C-alpha cells in the first residue's frame, strides 16, 4: 500500500459537516515541496493564499502507509480564492526533484490553472517576484480558435519547478463563477491540466470509469500556443472534464501533444515523495462499485484496496499515463 494517511486528513478537513455527494467532484490537488516555509511564502505572497491547516505526521503507522522508512511529513492546506490546494513536504526522506529540463510535453507535466481577474496585474506581480517563466509572456489565443478565442494564459514555475498557469476568461468563456464581481486578483483554481499520451484512453479512465463529464475541447497550435507552453512547433489536443457541479469544483484537462512526439514518460518507479508526483483527489458517490470495476478491468489500483479512516473511505489508483488519483467517499 502507498501513502494514504495525509490524503485522508485533507478529506476529513474538507468534509466535516458536508452532505454526501451524489456526483464526482474534483476536490483538490497536492503538490510535494522541498522547503515548506519557502513554498508557503511563495504561494501566500503570489496568490494571497490563506493557511487552513498545518500538520505533521510521523511514526510506525505513517512509515507503513507510505512504505518509506523513517518518513516525517508536514502538510499544509491552503485556500486560494474559492479553491483548495495542499502543500506536502517530506521532512525525511526527500524525494527526487523535477528534472531541470522537464518540458510541457513530458507526461509528468501537471499544472494548476489559477483564474485571474486581471492578467496584466497578475503577470506584473509574478514578474516582480522573479517567478520562473515557461511562457515568454501572457498569450491571448487567436480568433480562429473558436473554443478558446480570447482566453489569455501564462505558464510559470513555483520554487520546486512545478508548472503553474494563470488564466483569464473573457465574457462568454469559462465557468459562470469566474465572471462574478470580485475584488480578488486570484479568484480560484479552474482545473488541473495533465499531459496524456492518448486522449481516448484517458477518457476511458476519467469519463467512463470515474464519471467526469466532457465539457469541450480544442486543437491549439500556432505561435501563441508555442510561446505559451515553451514547446516549438507544438500542436495540442485539449479536452476539459468536470463534475455536474461545474461551478463549485475544479476540473481536469487533458493535454495531448500531437506534435512534437517523444516527451518523457511517467517514471514507473515514482514514489509519493518525488516532486513530480502530484495527487488529484476526487470525491465519488459509490467507491465500492468503482473498486470492483477497477479490479475487473485490472487497473493500476492499490493492493490494499479501499481504506477506511475517520469516517472516510478511499482508494489509490494510477491513471493510464501514471498520474496519481485518490478516489474518496464519506461513510
Q: Is the pLDDT of residue 294 over 60?
A: yes
pLDDT at 58: 87
Q: Is the pLDDT of residue 9 over 70?
A: no
pLDDT at 323: 98
pLDDT digits (tens, 9 = 90+) for 50-89: 999 999 988 876 775 677 899 999 999 999 998 999 999 9
pLDDT digits (tens, 9 = 90+) for 153-180: 999 999 999 999 999 999 999 998 999 8
Q: Is the pLDDT of residue 123 over 50?
A: yes
* Structure confidence at residue 1 as a pLDDT band (50, 70, 90): very low
* Candidates 3.30.530.20, 3.40.50.720, 3.20.20.70, 3.10.180.10; CATH matching 5-98+274-330: 3.10.180.10
More confident residue, 214 or 311: 214
Angstrom CA distances, 263 to 108, 120, 234, stand at 9, 31, 12
* Structure confidence at residue 310 as a pLDDT band (50, 70, 90): low
65-74, 110-119, 141-150: least confident range = 65-74
Q: Is the pLDDT of residue 312 over 80?
A: no
- Its pTM stands at 0.90
pLDDT at 2: 42
Q: Is the pLDDT of residue 15 over 70?
A: no
**Range 133-156 average pLDDT:** 96
Taking all residues of the chain, what is their mean pLDDT, rounded to a whole number? 89
Architecture label for domain 110-259: Roll (3.10)
Q: Is the pLDDT of residue 106 over 50?
A: yes
pLDDT digits (tens, 9 = 90+) for 20-33: 445 789 989 999 99
Q: Is the pLDDT of residue 5 over 50?
A: no
Where do the domains of the chain lie? 5-98+274-330, 110-259
pLDDT at 73: 93
Amino acid at each position: 500500500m502507498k501513502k494514504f494517511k495525509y490524503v485522508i486528513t485533507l478529506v476529513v478537513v474538507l468534509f466535516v459537516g458536508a452532505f454526501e455527494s451524489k456526483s464526482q467532484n474534483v476536490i483538490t490537488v497536492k503538490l510535494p515541496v522541498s522547503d515548506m516555509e519557502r513554498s508557503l511564502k511563495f504561494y501566500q505572497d503570489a496568490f494571497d493564499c490563506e493557511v487552513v491547516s498545518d500538520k505533521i505526521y510521523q511514526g510506525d503507522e505513517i512509515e507503513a502507509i507510505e512504505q518509506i522508512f523513517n518518513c516525517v511529513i508536514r502538510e499544509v492546506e491552503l485556500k486560494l480564492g474559492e479553491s483548495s490546494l495542499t502543500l506536502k513536504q517530506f521532512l525525511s526522506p526527500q524525494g527526487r526533484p523535477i528534472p531541470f529540463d522537464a518540458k510541457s510535453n513530458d507526461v509528468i507535466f501537471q499544472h494548476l490553472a489559477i483564474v485571474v481577474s486581471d492578467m496584466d496585474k497578475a503577470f506584473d506581480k509574478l514578474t516582480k517576484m522573479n517567478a520562473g517563466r515557461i511562457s515568454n509572456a501572457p498569450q491571448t489565443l487567436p480568433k480562429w480558435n473558436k473554443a478558446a478565442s480570447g482566453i489569455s494564459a501564462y505558464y510559470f514555475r513555483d520554487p520546486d519547478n512545478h508548472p503553474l498557469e494563470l488564466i483569464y476568461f473573457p465574457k462568454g468563456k469559462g465557468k459562470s463563477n469566474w465572471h462574478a464581481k470580485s475584488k480578488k486578483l486570484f479568484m480560484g483554481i479552474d482545473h488541473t491540466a495533465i499531459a496524456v499520451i492518448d486522449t481516448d484512453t484517458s477518457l476511458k479512465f476519467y469519463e467512463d470509469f470515474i464519471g467526469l463529464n466532457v465539457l469541450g475541447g480544442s486543437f491549439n497550435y500556432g505561435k501563441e500556443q508555442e510561446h505559451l507552453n515553451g514547446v516549438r512547433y507544438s500542436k495540442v489536443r485539449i479536452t476539459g472534464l468536470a463534475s455536474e457541479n461545474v461551478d463549485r469544483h475544479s476540473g481536469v484537462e487533458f493535454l495531448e501533444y500531437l506534435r512534437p512526439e517523444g516527451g518523457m514518460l511517467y517514471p514507473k518507479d515514482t514514489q509519493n515523495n518525488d516532486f513530480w508526483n502530484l495527487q488529484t483527489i476526487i470525491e465519488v458517490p459509490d467507491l465500492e462499485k468503482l473498486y470492483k470495476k477497477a479490479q475487473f478491468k485490472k487497473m493500476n489500483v492499490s493492493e490494499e484496496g479501499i481504506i477506511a479512516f475517520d469516517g472516510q473511505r478511499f482508494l489509490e489508483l494510477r491513471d493510464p499515463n501514471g498520474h496519481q488519483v485518490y478516489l474518496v467517499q464519506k461513510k
